[in-house]
Amino acid sequence: AQTVTQSQPEMSVQEAETVTLSCTYDTSESDYYLFWYKQPPSRQMILVIRQEAYKQQNATENRFSVNFQKAAKSFSLKISDSQLGDAAMYFCAYRSAWDQLIWGAGTKLIIKP
C-alpha cells in the first residue's frame, strides 16, 4: 500500500529566510501525482503546489518550489523568503492515476518575526 511520511512534526524559520519541509512516499506505481497543501489557522486547506511524476522538471510557484527525487521517492517543499502568512500546517499528499489522495501527517511551520 502507498504511504506518505512527513518526518518533521514541527519546523520553525526566521522571517525572510528559507525553509525546507520533507516528504517521502512509498509506491510501486510509475504514474502518479504529488501535492503540497497548506492549512492555515483559519483551517481552510489550499493547494500550494503540484508535481506530476512524469515531469522531470521541479514545479515552482512563486516563493514555493519542490525538489522531486523520483528514484529516492522524495518530495520536499522549499519556501523562500518566508513570510508571517506562511505559518500553517503543511500536508504532503500522493495520488496514483486512478485512486484517492493519501496524506502525510503534516508539518507545523512556525515563522519567527
Partner 1 sequence: DGGITQSPKYLFRKEGQNVTLSCEQNLNHDAMYWYRQDPGQGLRLIYYSQIVNDFQKGDIAEGYSVSREKKESFPLTVTSAQKNPTAFYLCASSRAAGVDTGELFFGEGSRLTVL
Q: Which residues bind partner 1 (CB under 8 A)?
A: 4, 9, 33, 35, 37, 42-47, 50, 91, 93, 95, 97-98, 100-106
Question: Whole-angstrom Cα distance, residue 63 to residue 49?
Answer: 11
CB of 62 to partner 1, least distance (A): 17
CB of 17 to partner 1, least distance (A): 26
Give the nearer residue to partner 1 in terms of CB position, either 35 or 75: 35
Q: Which of 62, 68, 75, 70 is nearest to 107 (CA)?
A: 75
Q: Which position has the grid cell 526566521?
A: 14
Give the nearer residue to partner 1 in terms of CB position, either 82 or 102: 102
Give the nearer residue to partner 1 in terms of CB position, either 82 or 90: 90
Give the nearer residue to partner 1 in terms of CB position, either 15 or 31: 31
Strands 107-112 and 10-14: parallel
User: How many of the other CB atoms lie within 10 Å of CB of 32?
Assistant: 19
CB of 67 to partner 1, least distance (A): 20
Q: Specify whether the backbone of 16 is left (phi greater than 0), alpha (psi in -120 to 50) or beta.
A: left
CB of 37 to partner 1, least distance (A): 8
